[in-house]
Amino acid sequence: MQAPKKIFSGLMLLPLFLSVACVVFTVMMAGYVLWFYQGGYQEETAGDVYDRYYIMITQEGKSAFWQSVYSGACERALEENVYVDWLGSDQMQGYSVEEQMEIAIASGVDGIIVTAGENETLRELIDRAAESGIPVVTLYGDSTQSARCSFVGVGSYNLGREYGRQALKIMRERLTGVTDRPIKVTLLVNSYANSLDQNIIYSGIQEAIEQERGDAAIEVSLQSVDDTNAFSVEESVRDIFLGENVPDILICLNELNTTCAYQAVVDYNKVGSVSILGQYTSDTILNAIDRNVIYATVNIDTPQMGGFCIDALQEYHELGYTSQYFTADISLITKENVDAYLHREEPESDE
Amino acid sequence: MNKIRNLSLQVKISSIYIFTNLLVVMVNIFLIIGINSMSGRLDTVYQGNRHLNNFSDAVDALQSSMTDYLNVKTSDSLENYYRSEALCRNMVADLNEKVTGRTFDRMERNIRHMSEYYLKEVASAVEAKRGRNVEKYRFHYENATKMYDYIGTYISNLNMEQFRSNSERYSELQQRFRLFEAVSVVAIVLVMCSNVCMIISFVGAVIRPMKKLAGQADEVAKGNFDIALLPVESQDEVGVVTGAFNSMVVSIGRYIERIRESMEAERALKERELLMEGHLKDARLKYLQAQINPHFLFNTLNAGAQLAMMEGADRTYEYIQKVAQFYRYNMKKSEETVTVAEEVEMVDSYIYILNVRFAGDIHYEKHIDESLLSVEMPGMILQPIVENCVNHGIREMGDRGVILLSLYEKEGVVCISVRDNGVGMSEETIEKILSGTYREADMASGGNGVGMDNVISRMKLFTGNEQVMDVKSEGRGKGTEVCLYLQK
């Protein structure tokens, strides 16, 4: 009876095997469908819920400077389980600082970081925010008369003195041949914001030059740049080079001004005759230093600045008060040490 | 396994069809579920946008109803305002309030807070209007309008963001839908293939024993009953038929065997009869040839005997009488069964005649068991044997020749032994005589025509045994013994 059994099992094995395969396949299908159904297909996840919600408002749009400040703030905020939105950059483009302030106040956020200035409307808005229980930190530009809880910026006077020293250094290195006329040092100031800070920087420059000029003739002047509307800065900077009174040394106080000045110097063939002292360390600026178009730039520790803003707001929420001033570190980048920054920036620019 | 094997054919076939159909149905159900869930998802993709649009409409309606009321201050417009305010408030309550990592959620949260602020401003404006506080309602109206503007921008930004992301999601879903479609097609094809395979193999498994059965039946139809029995694999209908076929083949084979055996027996019987008849005919023919002389001789001898009696020559009379008796026996008894006694008497007569003829040369002795004299045997058996003894054994010995006739019983067999002390026989001759191939060269000269082969054949036919005669000789000059074996 062995042979029939064998034949039988052989005949029955194939269908059995097939049915098992079918069942396995069906189960797999079912798994796939269920996986899909249960949301294995990833929808955008809501992620964590944050304890607090701050809003950052800046005058300029997406400059690398503010981007860096914002990412510093974000990094610090995430550590504290706080979310920071940069209102002007993505959600509400095209609104003025004041309007953004209004929006932020109406949105009932937990804190506002704003690049202020000594300007009445903004002061009122800051006061209104404080009344509504929203602490405001002024960033980079202060509104001293307002009810802001803290100011995060750079030491403007020291910054000014550094610019002054650098101007004298340029004079000694590059402008020794100019004896028939006073050397013209021009500080680009924004017509809209930060007038007080700009004034402090200006006086810092003047003081440094006065102290160390010796008998050299130096004329320090302010040149206002129109930053009230988009693209006006670039036009204003170019106007300087079109006029008769082209400065020997041009001091810029933000990234945009620095970049525009650099481009203008190149375009109007003033490389060598006009030295630029800039601010911030974008790739363009660093490359310009490397090519000797910009003499030096002041690098503000922007992530630190962003982090300070969050620290100030968190401290205020927890203690009800906070330090009035936070000063971010600054460093000077010249031809001598630009290589280090260029190399450091490279991996980031790849991202 | 056994249980499955023993199910009836109907159940087996039905279950395989049901099973394959179930598989197809199952796969289809999964596909339908999948398609449903996907189309459901596709439906919800733009739901967020729809909600936002509805909310935007509600805010628009509130703004216009407020403006309307502030403009004309009718009770209709106030009613409108209340209605749209309630609707808007409900919708605001549905908006997200949490701060999450998702931009949409935070935007929605901001919109919610701004809308709450806006509702408050609107309510204040309407309240001030009712209290006829012109300055206040204008202030609140301006505030509300500004908020309305911000909210509008916020909503459209959010809408745009959502739309962008939803479009991505939609295309991703569509890709998945395509993938699902491909998977479904593969699944259906696979299931179909496996079903076909299953049905083919199953039907094959069911049909195979039937085919074998048909092949075997064909063989049987051709007359070949010598086939291997089919194994009964299952207890279904095919199994039952196979079993029945097997037993049918076995019984037909047995029946045919029995018929063949009986036919064989009948044939053997007939053959024996025919053979016996043939031999008798052969013997009779030879005697007919010889009877021409005996009849004449017999009559002549009778006349001679009477003459001798009338002349008083008693010995002559006796001699002639014996010769006549010898011939008479030859004539009458050669064709029928006789007793041993008659045969012995015949031998006696023959020896007497020979002794008269050859002046008493032959010494004749008998050792007879009287009780065996009535045993039957064919006629004309002993005389040819004795004649051979005389002719070939002792003829040349003169008066030294001895013939010994013994009748005895040994182990239930009646033995008739005829022995002489003559020249004897070689083994080769004995072999030839017993196998019936020995031909006497001088048969015609001395004998009466009945050869040893005839004797052996008739003995065999009569007894039905093969072992009917034995010839023994110890060699040249040592004599010969012929033994006949008869059944009692």
Tokens coding B165: 């992301």
- Distance (Å) from the C-alpha of residue A66 to the closest C-alpha of chain B? 19
Q: Please report residues of A whose CB lies closer than 8 A to that of B98.
A: 46, 49
Instruction: Give residue-wise pLDDT tens across range B215-247.
Output: 888 888 888 877 888 888 777 888 888 888 889
Please, which pLDDT band fits residue B288 given cuts at 50, 70 and 90? low
Of A12, A22, A92, the CB nearest to B23: A22
**Whole-complex ipTM:** 0.75
The reply to whether residue B34 touches residue A32, judged by beta carbons under 8 angstroms, is: yes
The predicted pLDDT at position B334 comes to 57
Nearest to A210 by CA among A259, A258, A160: A160
Q: Quick check: A54 pLDDT over 90?
A: yes
Q: Quick check: A351 pLDDT over 80?
A: no
* Conformational region of residue A320, where left means phi above 0, alpha means psi within -120 to 50, and beta covers everything else: left
Q: Chain A neighbours among B 95-124 (CB < 8 Å)? A: 98-107, 109-110, 113-114, 116-118
With helix as H, strand as E and coil as C, how does B399-447 read? HHCEEEEEEEEECCEEEEEEEECCCCCCHHHHHHHHHCCCCCCCHHHHC
Phi, psi of B415 (to 5 degrees): -110, 135
Using the Cβ of B147 and the Cβ atoms of chain A, whether some distance falls under 8 Å is answered with yes
Q: Quick check: A137 pLDDT over 70?
A: yes
The reply to whether residue B109 touches residue A47, judged by beta carbons under 8 angstroms, is: no
Q: Please report residues of B whose CB lies closer than 8 A to that of A50.
A: 99-101
Domains A52-153+303-329 and A156-279 share a fold: yes
Q: Pick the more confident residue, B72 or B438.
A: B72
On whether the CB atoms of residues B205 and A11 are closer than 8 A, the answer is yes
Instruction: Lowest mean pLDDT of A69-78, B224-233, B413-422, name the range.
Output: B224-233
- Report how far residue B119's alpha carbon sits from residue B270's, in angstroms, rounded to the nearest whole number: 134
Instruction: Lowest mean pLDDT of A63-77, A102-116, A335-349, B339-353, name the range.
Output: A335-349
The predicted pLDDT at position B101 comes to 82
Q: Quick check: B204 pLDDT over 70?
A: yes
The predicted pLDDT at position A309 comes to 94
Sequence-distant (6+) residues with CB within 8 A of B216 are B227, B230, B245, B249
Please, which pLDDT band fits residue A7 given cuts at 50, 70 and 90? very low
Mean pLDDT for A129-133 is 93
The reply to whether residue B194 touches residue A26, judged by beta carbons under 8 angstroms, is: no
The predicted pLDDT at position B116 comes to 93
Q: Please report residues of B whose CB lies closer than 8 A to that of A47.
A: 100-102
Of B34, B201, B202, the CB nearest to A33: B34
The sheet with strand A275-279 has its strands ordered as: A218-225, A183-190, A249-251, A275-279, A294-300, A330-334
Q: Chain A neighbours among B 240-299 (CB < 8 Å)? A: none
The predicted pLDDT at position A87 comes to 84
Nearest to B201 by CA among B425, B12, B351: B12
Instruction: Give residue-wise pLDDT tens across range A192-218.
Output: 655 677 888 899 999 999 888 777 788
The predicted pLDDT at position B118 comes to 94
Q: Quick check: A6 pLDDT over 50?
A: no
The predicted pLDDT at position A136 comes to 94
* Site from A29, A89, A96, A105 to mutate, B interface, most B CB atoms within 10 angstroms: A29
The predicted pLDDT at position B411 comes to 86
Q: Please report residues of A whose CB lies closer than 8 A to that of B232.
A: 4
Q: Pick the more confident residue, B86 or A231.
A: B86
On whether the CB atoms of residues B134 and B122 are closer than 8 A, the answer is no
Residue B483 DSSP SS3 = strand
Q: What is the CATH class of B336-487?
A: alpha beta
Q: Please report residues of A whose CB lies closer than 8 A to that of B197.
A: 14-15, 18
Of A36, A52, A103, the CB nearest to B37: A36
The per-residue pLDDT of chain A, averaged, comes to: 83
The reply to whether residue A4 touches residue B231, judged by beta carbons under 8 angstroms, is: yes
Using the Cβ of B178 and the Cβ atoms of chain A, whether some distance falls under 8 Å is answered with no
Q: Please report residues of A whose CB lies closer than 8 A to that of B174.
A: none
| DSSP helix, strand, coil percent of chain B (3-state; round to 5) | 75, 10, 15
- Distance (Å) from the C-alpha of residue A297 to the closest C-alpha of chain B? 35
On whether the CB atoms of residues A100 and A122 are closer than 8 A, the answer is no
With helix as H, strand as E and coil as C, how does B86-122 read? HHHHHHHHHCCCCCECCHHHHHHHHHHHHHHHHHHHH
Percent of chain A with pLDDT over 70: 84
Kind of pairing, strands B337-339 and B363-368?
A: unpaired
Kind of pairing, strands A150-153 and A183-190?
A: unpaired
Q: Quick check: A72 pLDDT over 90?
A: yes
Using the Cβ of B34 and the Cβ atoms of chain A, whether some distance falls under 8 Å is answered with yes
The predicted pLDDT at position B322 comes to 85
On whether the CB atoms of residues B322 and B353 are closer than 8 A, the answer is yes
Of A21, A47, A95, the CB nearest to B194: A21
Tokens coding A222: 């302010």
Residue A143 DSSP SS3 = coil
Using the Cβ of B35 and the Cβ atoms of chain A, whether some distance falls under 8 Å is answered with no
In CATH, B2-212 is 1.20.120.1730: yes
- Distance (Å) from the C-alpha of residue A11 to the closest C-alpha of chain B? 6
Of B109, B147, B194, the CB nearest to A22: B194
- Report how far residue A156's alpha carbon sits from residue A199's, in angstroms, rounded to the nearest whole number: 9
Of A21, A92, A106, the CB nearest to B117: A106
Q: Please report residues of A whose CB lies closer than 8 A to that of B119.
A: none
Q: Pick the more confident residue, A29 or B200.
A: B200
The reply to whether residue B23 touches residue A26, judged by beta carbons under 8 angstroms, is: yes
The predicted pLDDT at position A2 comes to 41
Using the Cβ of B196 and the Cβ atoms of chain A, whether some distance falls under 8 Å is answered with no
Tell me the one-letter amino acid at A78. L
Tokens coding A141: 């530009």
Mean pLDDT for B124-128 is 91
Please, which pLDDT band fits residue B261 given cuts at 50, 70 and 90? very high
Kind of pairing, strands B363-368 and B402-410?
A: parallel
The predicted pLDDT at position A135 comes to 94
Q: Quick check: A46 pLDDT over 60?
A: no
Please, which pLDDT band fits residue B39 given cuts at 50, 70 and 90? confident
Tokens coding B258: 């029995």
Q: Please report residues of A whose CB lies closer than 8 A to that of B198.
A: 14-15, 18-19
Nearest to B386 by CA among B455, B322, B321, B324: B455
On whether the CB atoms of residues A277 and A167 are closer than 8 A, the answer is yes
Residue B368 DSSP SS3 = strand
Q: In the CATH scheme, what architecture does the domain A156-279 have? A: 3-Layer(aba) Sandwich (3.40)
Percent of chain B with pLDDT over 90: 20
Instruction: Give residue-wise pLDDT tens across range B155-194.
Output: 998 888 888 888 888 888 888 888 888 888 888 888 888 8
- Report how far residue B316's alpha carbon sits from residue B304's, in angstroms, rounded to the nearest whole number: 9
Domains B2-212 and B336-487 share a fold: no
Give me the residue spans of the domains in chain B.
Answer: 2-212, 336-487
Instruction: Lowest mean pLDDT of A178-192, B144-158, B256-270, name the range.
Output: A178-192
How much is the CA Rg of chain A, to the nearest whole Å? 30
* Conformational region of residue B56, where left means phi above 0, alpha means psi within -120 to 50, and beta covers everything else: alpha
Which residues, listed in sequence order, are joined to residue B417 by a DSSP beta bridge?
B406, B483
Q: Please report residues of B whose CB lies closer than 8 A to that of A128.
A: none
- Distance (Å) from the C-alpha of residue B210 to the closest C-alpha of chain A? 14
The per-residue pLDDT of chain B, averaged, comes to: 84
Instruction: Give residue-wise pLDDT tens across range B354-381.
Output: 888 877 778 889 999 889 888 888 888 8
Which residues, listed in sequence order, are joined to residue B367 by a DSSP beta bridge?
B406
Nearest to A262 by CA among A287, A245, A242, A244: A287
How much is the CA Rg of chain B, to the nearest whole Å? 67
CA angle at B185 for the pair B180 and B189, rounded to the nearest 5°: 145
Please, which pLDDT band fits residue B443 given cuts at 50, 70 and 90? very low
- Report how far residue B289's alpha carbon sits from residue B280's, in angstroms, rounded to the nearest whole number: 14
The reply to whether residue B102 touches residue A11, judged by beta carbons under 8 angstroms, is: no
On whether the CB atoms of residues B81 and B66 are closer than 8 A, the answer is yes
Tokens coding A7: 């034949």
The reply to whether residue A25 touches residue B187, judged by beta carbons under 8 angstroms, is: yes
Please, which pLDDT band fits residue A266 given cuts at 50, 70 and 90? very high
Cα atoms in the Cβ-side hemisphere of radius 13 Å centred on B430? 17
- Distance (Å) from the C-alpha of residue A47 to the closest C-alpha of chain B? 6
Q: Please report residues of A whose CB lies closer than 8 A to that of B179.
A: none
Of A26, A49, A103, the CB nearest to B27: A26
Of A7, A18, A33, the CB nearest to B197: A18
Please, which pLDDT band fits residue A350 given cuts at 50, 70 and 90? very low
Region A52-153+303-329: CATH code? 3.40.50.2300
Using the Cβ of B38 and the Cβ atoms of chain A, whether some distance falls under 8 Å is answered with yes
Give me the residue spans of the domains in chain A.
Answer: 52-153+303-329, 156-279
The reply to whether residue B191 touches residue A22, judged by beta carbons under 8 angstroms, is: yes
Q: Pick the more confident residue, B449 or A158.
A: A158
Kind of pairing, strands A325-327 and B337-339?
A: unpaired
- Report how far residue B427's alpha carbon sits from residue B423's, in angstroms, rounded to the nearest whole number: 13
Q: Quick check: A45 pLDDT over 70?
A: no
Q: Quick check: B276 pLDDT over 90?
A: no
- Report how far residue A151's alpha carbon sits from residue A142's, in angstroms, rounded to the nearest whole number: 6
The predicted pLDDT at position A347 comes to 45
The predicted pLDDT at position B412 comes to 86
Q: Please report residues of A whose CB lies closer than 8 A to that of B109.
A: 53, 107
Rounded to two decimals, the pTM is 0.58
Residue A48 DSSP class: P
DSSP string for residues in B255-315: HHHHHHHHHHHHHHHHHHHHHHHHHHHHHHHHHHHHHHHHHHHHHHHHHHHHHHHHHT-HH
Phi, psi of B212 (to 5 degrees): -60, -45
Distance, C-alpha A347 to centroid of its chain: 18
Q: Quick check: A8 pLDDT over 50?
A: no
The reply to whether residue A32 touches residue B183, judged by beta carbons under 8 angstroms, is: yes
- Report how far residue B84's alpha carbon sits from residue B63's, in angstroms, rounded to the nearest whole number: 9
Cα dihedral across residues A169, A173, A176, A177: positive or negative: negative
Of B23, B27, B157, the CB nearest to A91: B157
The reply to whether residue B16 touches residue A15, judged by beta carbons under 8 angstroms, is: yes
